Chains A and B, each alone.
Chain A
Amino acid sequence: DAGVIQSPRHEVTEMGQEVTLRCKPISGHDYLFWYRQTMMRGLELLIYFNNNVPIDDSGMPEDRFSAKMPNASFSTLKIQPSEPRDSAVYFCASSLGQGGGQETQYFGPGTRLLVL
């Protein structure tokens, strides 16, 4: 299994531009999570999906952020317009489900975003 795949690995953009981050979860996993990690705030959950349906988006910082999961094998996190304070590492993770050890989350390598 290739694990969770994220693209791009690095993104440098200018303030005001649209940024789209992509994630392919592990096949068969029902949950998909988007996190943001910074030195100041650590690892923060932005939004998560269960069976392609958004369950909790309370961590999404503001309306500039949006996430979609059109099918079980693909999700996007979009920032429009981007701002310098959005600079961070964005992780996607997936898990099988609940109970019996299925709560383990498998993380992708992350996308390092720098907004100038």
Chain B
Amino acid sequence: SQKIEQNSEALNIQEGKTATLTCNYTNYSPAYLQWYRQDPGRGPVFLLLIRENEKEKRKERLKVTFDTTLKQSLFHITASQPADSATYLCALGHSSNTGKLIFGQGTTLQVKP
């Protein structure tokens, strides 16, 4: 069955450092992958989308990589700030144009000042 794995343990880093979050998947061939941010008590908010034919995407301090051979995406936040503390979800989209996403469990990031 399809499976998406994100680090279940919280990631604690110091302000200014680079945070790296991992998303691994099995038994799936996504056409694209998205990363969302979720703050406590709120709905997820879209951050970045990367397609299967793209290796890397950047947006300000965010960078996403996508390796379809390793079946893995890495999400980087450079120069992290306490305001970056949140739960980050990866989501896989299929190529059949269904609009359907499958979400990982999310990784909680805590950036300490």
Give me the interface of A with B, judged by CB distance under 8 Å. Answer: 4, 31, 33, 35, 42-45, 48, 50, 55-56, 91, 93, 95, 97-99, 101, 103-110
B89 at interface, CB cutoff 8 A: yes
User: Contact at A108–B49, with CB atoms within 8 Å?
Assistant: no
Docked CA distance A45–B89 (Å): 14
Docked CA distance A44–B105 (Å): 10
Task: List A contacts of B32 (CB < 8 A).
Answer: 103
B25 at interface, CB cutoff 8 A: no
User: Contact at B103–A42, with CB atoms within 8 Å?
Assistant: yes
Q: Is the interface of A mostly helix, strand, loop or mixed?
A: strand
B13 at interface, CB cutoff 8 A: no
Docked CA distance A104–B49 (Å): 8
Task: List B contacts of A109 (CB < 8 A).
Answer: 42-43
User: Contact at B89–A98, with CB atoms within 8 Å?
Assistant: no
List residues 39-58 of chain B with CB under 8 A from any CB of chain A.
41-46, 49
Docked CA distance A69–B89 (Å): 27
User: Contact at B49–A42, with CB atoms within 8 Å?
Assistant: no
Q: Given A42-B106, A43-B44, A110-B42, answer yes or no on A105-B101 (Cβ-Cβ < 8 Å).
A: yes
Q: Given A42-B106, A43-B103, answer yes or no on A108-B98 (Cβ-Cβ < 8 Å).
A: no
